Chain A
């Protein structure tokens, strides 16, 4: 059974810091991995999608990497801002068209 774990569960950093969020999964048989952002009480917004054949994806200040063989992904956020405060969720797509989510990392960036 695929399990997705995210570390740390919560993170509080001052504005301007570079930070790394971690995601690990137990079954490497995935089609892709996605990172999402969720604001309190809201839906999810897709940030980055990495296909299983790819190693990383970048969007603005965000960079996500994927090491499928070791079952790990990281989301790197450069020069963090208070507006980045949210919960970040990673999700893997096994060999069906559904997502299996981790429990998320709650990020707070203070001025």
Chain B
């Protein structure tokens, strides 16, 4: 079990460019979550998947953001036409089923840092 893996760990991009982050969850974890964290703040929920189905999206996820989880394995988060306000750490997490009622532990990756210049 290698944990939740995120790539790339750091990305510097020019405003207006598109970027894509990849997340590989712990194998057999059917829940996958994306959060965003800016300096000095706690993580903010973006979206989550149950297998390949995207079950909930935050209002923070504007039309420029899209997340996919084909085949219910890895997930990608794409940001189109990046803006300076998108600069943040994007965290991926997975859990073996929902944790709300079952109390399963959620495991976070190391995060992907995005800097938009």
Contact = CB atoms under 8 A, between A and B. Distances in A.
Interface in A65-111: 89, 91, 93, 95-104
Contact of B106 (A46, A89, A100, A102): A46
A46 B104 CA distance: 11
Interface residues of A, number: 26
A1 to B, nearest CB: 12
A60 interface: no
A18 interface: no
Interface stretch (B35-43, B65-73, B79-87): B35-43
B91 A44 contact: yes
A100 B46 CA distance: 11
Interface size class of B (residues with CB under 8 A): 20 to 34
Contacts, number: 62
Given A32-B99, A93-B99, A93-B100, A99 B110 contact: no
Nearest to B9: A41
B108 A43 contact: yes
A99 B101 contact: no
Given A34-B106, A99-B35, 8 more contacts: A43-B110, A44-B108, A49-B99, A49-B103, A51-B103, A93-B100, A98-B45, A98-B48
Interface of B: 4, 31, 33, 35, 40-45, 48, 55-56, 91, 93, 98-101, 103, 105-111, 113
Q: Which 4 A-B pairs have the closest CB atoms?
A: A101-B42, A43-B108, A44-B108, A98-B45
